[in-house]
Structure 1
Amino acid sequence: MTTASSSSRIPGCAGARIVAAGKEWDAVRTDRFLGLQAVDRLGAASGPVIVEPAAVYFLVPPGGTTAGDLTQSKGLGAGHYVVLPAADRTRPPGPYWLLPPDRPLATVDDVRRALEAAAALVLLDLDTIRHDIDHALCRRVELPRRSIIDAGTDALTHHLRRLMSYNYGPQNEGSTGVRMRTLCDVAERNLAAPVRPTPQTNHRVAYVYWNTLATLTAAFRDLYLAHRPTEPGQRT
């Protein structure tokens, strides 16, 4: 979220504040799917990262975003403002820190390379999405092996993030907007790191999580088919 003027507090986002870019840091804003893919590619080189429902922000050294265009992204330096979540906000709803603010800033060149690599991903494959949803939700006599659950969860996480990045229209108008906002909030909570299964997670709990992601992915897949958005973009 960016704005042309600052305010000390954000209604509904406890501890969040609007801060001017271009002083202690610049920010690179990109759509959520592309940004999360770039984070995966950056690995240990990732600096502080903020996630919103439709966007991801990378914090980089001040002045760094003036050097040139960034792939499918916007540099936010002097004259721009960014919403910083509370330091302990690490999950939705609202803006949160995917990677904490006390990390060293990422370099613009590293972010640029990661975004370029992420942008080279293949287009949405609806047949594969359907197959992975059906595989998770099919009736079973017994639980599948944990390796199957984990692989299916990884695939659906990728699909869900991709589908969430599309522009399905305003979320603040009428009952449809409310339902869309609720669906996004539920998906955000289930994709948050503290919720995702780990190798120590109970087998059945991991299976239920896999099914939950399949249900959410199916809901966003149906939205995609109904609206046919042309490309990912920030929702309003």
Structure 2
Amino acid sequence: MFDDRASVATAAGMRLAQAGVRWDVVKVRRFLGLQAIEHIEQPGAVAVDPHSPEPMLYFFVPAGTLADWDVPDTRALNSTECTTHVVLPPGHREAPPGPYWLLPPSCGLTPTDTLHRALERALHRPDPHPHFRIDTAAMRADAAQLIGDAAELPESTVLPQLVQRLRGHLMVLVPHVEDRMRAFARTAETRLVAQVTVGEAQRRLNSVPGLTFISEIKHAQTLARSVEALCRHAEVPTHTVAKAPAPTVGVVQQ
């Protein structure tokens, strides 16, 4: 189980806890971590730091299990060599601003061997462009629960899990679409529209819903619309698209 009893309260509801006492931590780049989660049937608690030079995920695993950790592009945080402290978001925080929980503490710890295998599988995937494919059908199915023709108001107990999945889809889709759009000329309409869609998705990811159930539903629906829109961009074929001609007078290159 996840245990933060030894942590110390800091500003804004954050807590400071030493790794290697009740659990160890694996620090992973956000995109790699999200791919790894797809290979874990029941992942444990995962925290997000959106303010590093690159957003990072923190996987919590049983204490004392990272002595021989050797996965590339990841970092083991424990007390083997020196004391390492980790900032824990408030237990209820599931969205920015600041660090937040992608998967809450109630999910417990991820078995170290399970995380190791998942990261190795994610690392051996092909590069995202041009051969990497994501499951847009599954993403669209989640979005359709909120904005589809047959969508019904979800139960309050189901909504948080659905929102987490939508957020996870957007975290995968945003960099994926950005990468794919590099195949288009900078002034191509498809690329320009995708840039607007990505920007809107990022703003929605950083937004915080109101306190009422209706406001939470509306927030979830905006996430679903961004998922649907980005799926369309993710499915645009790039290998048949010719580069647009050089920009004419009055067109600003980005």
With the shorter chain as reference, the TM-score category is: 0.5 to 0.7
Which structure's CA Rg is the greater one?
A: 2
Distance of 1:56 and 1:121 partners within structure 2: 19
Does residue 160 (structure 1) correspond to residue 174 (structure 2)? The answer is: yes
Which consecutive residues of structure 2, in runs of 5 or more, have no partner in the other structure?
A: 1-6, 137-147, 151-165, 180-198, 210-216, 235-254
Distance of 2:108 and 2:129 partners within structure 1: 36
Query: What are the residue-to-residue correspondences of 1:126-205 with 2, within 5 Å?
Result: 158-162=172-176, 186=203, 188-189=205-206
Amino acid at match of 1:47: G
Question: Residues 121, 48 of structure 1: CA spacing in aligned structure 2 closer, same or farther, 3 A cutoff?
Answer: same
* Deviation of the 1:122 alpha carbon: 1.8
Preserved CA contact (<8 Å) 2:61 2:109: yes
Percent identity of paired positions between Structure 1 and Structure 2? 31
Preserved CA contact (<8 Å) 1:21 1:76: yes
In the alignment, what sits opposite 1:15?
13
Distance of 2:223 and 2:93 partners within structure 1: 25
SS in 2 for 1:97: strand
- Aligned pairs, number: 167
Preserved CA contact (<8 Å) 2:177 2:233: no
* Deviation of the 1:17 alpha carbon: 1.9
Does residue 51 (structure 1) correspond to residue 41 (structure 2)? The answer is: no
Write the deviation string for residues 133-190 of structure 1: whole angstroms up to 9, x where unpaired: xxxxxxxxxxx989xxxxxx9987533145789xxxxxxxxxxxxxxxx989626337
In the alignment, what sits opposite 2:196?
none
Amino acid at match of 2:173: H
In the alignment, what sits opposite 1:63?
64
Structure number with the bigger relative contact order (C-alpha 8 A, sep ≥ 6) is 1
Question: Residues 211, 159 of structure 1: CA spacing in aligned structure 2 closer, same or farther, 3 A cutoff?
Answer: closer
State which of 27, 30, 33 in structure 1 corresponds to 2:28: 30
* Deviation of the 1:73 alpha carbon: 0.6
Preserved CA contact (<8 Å) 2:26 2:58: yes
Distance of 2:103 and 2:77 partners within structure 1: 19
Amino acid at match of 2:30: R
Q: What TM-score do the two structures reach when normalised by structure 1?
A: 0.55
Distance of 2:75 and 2:177 partners within structure 1: 21
In the alignment, what sits opposite 1:171?
none
Preserved CA contact (<8 Å) 1:38 1:117: yes
Which consecutive residues of structure 1, in runs of 5 or more, have no partner in the other structure?
A: 1-5, 133-143, 147-152, 166-181, 193-199, 218-236
Distance of 2:13 and 2:109 partners within structure 1: 22
